[in-house]
Amino acid sequence: MCKWLTVVVLVALSFTITESEQTRDGRGIYTKNFFGGVWGNRPPLMELNHPKASCSCKCGERNEVSRIVGGYETNIDEFPWMAKLIYFKRFYCGGMLINDRYVLTAAHCVKGFMWFMIKITFGEHNRCNSTSRPETRFVIRAIPNKFSLTNFDNDIALLRLNERVAMSGAIKPICLPKDNYSLYVGVKAVASGWGTLTEEGKVSCTLQEVEVPVLSNEECRKTKYTASMITDNMMCAGYPKTGQKDSCQGDSGGPLIVERKHDKRYELIGVVSWGNGCARPGYPGVYTRVTNYLAWIRENTRDACYCSDNMWYLIYFIVCASVGARDTFSQFQDVPTYPEKYYHASSDVQLPPCRDCSCGERNEEPRVVGGTGSNMNAFPWIARLIYHKAFGCGASLINDRYVITAAHCTKGFMWFLFRVTFGEHDRCASHNRPVTRHVVKMIAHNFTLTELTNDIALLLLSAPLDYSFTIRPVCLPKYTVPENLYTGVTTTVAGWGAVAETGKWSCLLMEAQLPVLSNEECQNTNYNKSKIRDVMMCAGFPETAHKDACTGDSGGPLIMENDEHAYELIGIVSFGYGCARKGYPGVYARVTKYLEWIHDNTDDACYCEYY
């Protein structure tokens, strides 16, 4: 009986109206039921002694929180840092994983709540799916900043988890900004959450996303908000003139993110805080400005393990050794990570906590979808790139000493940790002993991460290969026709990549037939026209999207059968948005643009006579 009374008292205390709330209620603005948006993401109140600006107000305006309006459903696990906050078995706020021990959210999502009753789930897309079992942690400490209910300033909080979160394809942290002074004005940012989709609607079952432009604080102060409402610790984003898109009720505490230009990873710039109504004209969404709290975040998360922005193993030691991480490289397994919007070196199983993980990697990678299993050793030039012990990319043998792959499979990696395997079909077969060579030299073209141009690289092997039935090189296009565009030609792409948007990588080598598109046709798809350069080639079915190259296929070959019935390499798997998405065909490096460069850098090798 005493225990029951104690619980009742605690619950009652959690809903007790504070002095500031009594003042607020006296002025005609009431707290919301916390399941409907905590305290409501409503516009903050001015200080009590603040003079009234004017009497040009409207009566009967309900102060709803903003919600995801004008957005669309995300792909499964597209935002692997998303966290869902649950209080008394009810979803009420969002959050994001920033390292292996802490979730960042809005302070108004924790103020007045019993921290030990907050549960957090990760790796979810459809929160209404009763059959899924998301990764779950409990909160053992809530650390709000100096949050003010009167004006919603400093609306940011950290939640320490009861145990570390293991990184995987579905669960990865968001990057924190490096530049404390960036204002991000004019940048297109993305907000995501399970909030409501209309002003009076219900919260969404599936995770939603919306793209909104960041406004300057000066511009935001000229909207229908009173200028003093927008502090320097806040950031506005949205369309104040039309109100088309906005974050919304139930999205509180969730992320506002931007894609970095230099490495295409995503960083957190805002936390969903408050707003007047739902995507109303004149009232953009207001977010907590994360760059103002970077020192505070680091100071309060010193016991956590941050993922590096680069996928170098050395970083793990530098960052994690001081916090007593128990994992060692000797325990490393063949594991997957999912890259940014282009294919990247990755692996195959769940990553240990803070082990070779990368922050801000949005899961939008292409993979072999709609293909079929190839015949045993049907493509004897196919090779696998292994980094340390992790399979990440494909490659093609072009002579006895060199393989060719995508530059993004090598950029930022240490060449001496690469090895290349040949003559494989079932990469999971434990009894199989493929022919293996180590890499002794890496020659990447002038590749740029910002534009993804020149995505081609050569790897010099430690020893020449002896050709056999299972190991033979692919032909390069005839040197006399480097400008062949191949438009309309049916090609074949092959690899061990994933076979579905969220599927595992294939054990067996897969292949798919794809038609080559003209670059003009590709520029008229959903890609930005400037994205498709003349050194690139598109192949696929943009209207039906039933076949595509995919994650793990990066660096692999796009081949065609020539008039002599020999197969020549015309493309290298480079990048693509999503996985066999309509409007987004696969993009490949156009090999004919690099024939002279290839021959100049492989003149010490022995080429076969193809014709």
Query: How far is residue 595 from each of residues 89, 136, 267, 537, measured CA to CA in Å?
Result: 61, 52, 38, 15
CB atoms within 10 A of CB 466: 8
292, with CB counted inside 10 A (0-12, 13-18, 19+), is: middle
What is the full DSSP assignment across 122-137? ES-SBTT-TT---EEE
Share in percent of the chain as helix, strand, coil (round to 5):
15, 30, 55
Block residue for tokens 């990440």: 392
Per-residue DSSP letter, 454:
S
Please tell me which residue in 155, 251, 309, 400 is annotated as part of the active site.
155
List strand residue ranges (DSSP E) for 179-327, in order.
Answer: 188-193, 208-215, 234-237, 246-248, 255-259, 266-274, 285-289
* Cβ contact 112:147 at 8 Å: no
From the candidates 66, 77, 100, 108, which is the catalytic residue? 108
150, 412, 575, 609 from 457: Cα distances, Å: 57, 13, 15, 23
Selecting among 168, 252, 308, 574, the annotated active-site residue is 252
Q: Is 468 a catalytic residue?
A: no
H/E element, 536: strand 536-539
Q: Round to whole Å and give the CA distance between 26 and 44.
A: 15
Other residues' Cβ atoms within 10 Å of the Cβ of residue 48: 11
What is the signed CA dihedral for 278, 284, 286, 287, rounded to 10 degrees? 100
* SS3 sequence of 141-207: EEEECCCCCCCCCCCCEEEEECCCCCCCCCCCCCECCCCCCCCCCCCEEEEEECCECCCCCCECCEC
Give yes or no: 534 in active site: no
Instruction: Give yes or no for a contact between 382 and 494, defined as CB atoms under 8 angstroms apart.
Output: yes
Q: Is 252 labeled as catalytic in the residue annotation?
A: yes
- Taking residue 318's Cβ as centre, other Cβ atoms within 10 Å add up to 10
Residues 6+ apart with CB under 8 A from 162: 137, 138, 139, 140
Retrieve residue 125's tokens: 């897309």
d(CA 346, CA 99): 19
- Cα separation, 122 vs 196, in Å, equals 20
Known catalytic residues?
108, 155, 252
